[in-house]
Amino acid sequence: MRLERVAAHVPVGARLADIGSDHGYLPVALLRRGLIAAAVAGEVALTPFHAAQRSVRENALGSAITVRLADGLAAIEPEDGITAISICGMGGETIRDILDSGKARLSGRERLVLQPNGGEQPLRQWLMENGYRILGEEVLRENRFYYEIIVAERTGPVTYTPEELYFGPLQLQARSPAFLAKWQRMLHLKQKTLAQAVPEEKAQDIARQAQWISELLA
């Protein structure tokens, strides 16, 4: 379901770069359904790189999907004409670092479809600092875990408040049931942490976050 929701945010007809593709399921599924024109599946590690190669071979998609062993956006070549980039199933800080160290490979016209596992705030901070506007956001629950999807495009300067960076500017407006359930659970976890012995500085930070969450849910 998580990758299905990511797939729904990839524009029809895109030339997709799926970075950290692992088994390559996302580009393979999109191509099999005829929803994208071509794809690059990038992987930094050998075992998933081979798994992606196998998926592409077994689906006879070798002419449409190029699998590359590369670190982050180094998988993208200018002649690929990439119009969308997906980076999913990693921590938000890792996704941010991949975007930041690969900046030179971004044309600025790609749609970014990001699915961080935690670390959403630093990722949104990077998007803001680099002129990316958040155009879509989603929280979903699968197998007891909450996942976020962030869709962004470079539009020029954009400003988000600290609360918008923390919760997500569009989610703050929409307040979907999954979003509220996620933050109820997060509040419970923060309160549990605060009940334990934590260093003073850390406790203050967690208490501030708990306050924001309580205000959101009030």
Ligand X SMILES: C[S@@+](CC[C@H](N)C(=O)[O-])C[C@H]1O[C@@H](n2cnc3c(N)ncnc32)[C@H](O)[C@@H]1O
Instruction: Select from 27, 89, 116, 169 the one that contacts ligand X (CB under 6 A).
Output: 89
Residue closer to ligand X by CB (options 66, 209) is: 66
Binding mask 16-55 for ligand X (x = CB under 6 A): ---xxxx-------------------xxxx--x-------
Instruction: Say whether residue 69 binds ligand X (CB under 6 A).
Output: no
The neighbouring-strand residues paired with 40 are 17, 66
Instruction: Say whether residue 98 binds ligand X (CB under 6 A).
Output: yes
Least gap, CB of 211 to ligand X (angstroms): 32
Least gap, CB of 146 to ligand X (angstroms): 15
How does strand 111-116 pair with strand 145-154? Answer: antiparallel
| Binding residues vs ligand X (CB under 6 A) | 3, 19-22, 42-45, 48, 71-72, 88-90, 94, 98
